């Protein structure tokens, strides 16, 4: 098993006891609201757990999550080579599932902070000279979702 795979498994376990097989750890059944909360935190571990679940969606089919995404809506997904698509997809996941549950308003600030954290991690993955312009773009994407009210076009 590669170094990255081991780190990913550790991150997933720290994000709430979900293993990469897609099954809840232990014999207990985790409810949908708990999973949704675990997968929508502004942490790298939460994002890793969400990515692992997204790659194995069939294991989570019983929860009826909405995995659909339009990525970054009407904005570029890869402005100047910065891959904001995954952050936009994660944000869509949170917005769409909390909207379906009727609780988007109470989770919106956290979801937007999660989006901001995902964007910043993308920027941090680039060479030092590229980080300032990436962070300016990331801040613009973040501020756009904060300023605009949630609607069908933003998540």
- pLDDT for position 28: 47
Catalytic residue among 74, 90, 91, 126: 91
Query: Is pLDDT at 153 greater than 60 in this prediction?
Result: no
Q: 66 pLDDT exceeds 70?
A: yes
- pLDDT class for 148, splitting at 50, 70, 90? confident
Rounded to an integer, what distance in angstroms lies between the CA atom of residue 147 and that of residue 140? 10
pLDDT, tens digit, for every residue of 15-62? 554 444 454 444 347 899 999 999 999 999 999 999 999 999 999 999
* 91 included as an active-site residue: yes
Ordered by where they begin, the domains of the chain are 32-147 (1.20.90.10)
pLDDT at 151: 59
pTM over 0.85: no
- The per-residue pLDDT of the chain, averaged, comes to 85
What pLDDT, on a 0 to 100 scale, did the predictor assign at position 150? 63
């Amino acid at each position: 098993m590669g170094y990255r795979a081991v780190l990913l498994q550790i991150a997933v376990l720290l994000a709430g006891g979900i293993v990469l097989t897609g099954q809840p750890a232990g014999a207990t059944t985790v409810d949908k609201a708990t999973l949704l909360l675990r997968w929508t935190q502004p942490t790298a571990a939460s994002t890793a757990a969400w990515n692992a679940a997204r790659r194995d969606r069939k294991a989570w089919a019983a929860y009826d999550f909405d995995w659909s995404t339009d990525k970054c809506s009407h904005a570029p997904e890869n402005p100047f080579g910065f891959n904001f698509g995954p952050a936009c997809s994660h944000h869509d996941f949170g917005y769409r599932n909390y909207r379906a549950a009727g609780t988007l308003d109470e989770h919106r600030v956290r979801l937007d902070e999660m989006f901001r954290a995902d964007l910043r991690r993308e920027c941090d993955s680039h060479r030092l000279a590229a980080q300032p312009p990436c962070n300016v773009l990331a801040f613009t994407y973040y501020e756009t979702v904060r300023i605009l009210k949630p609607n069908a076009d933003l998540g």
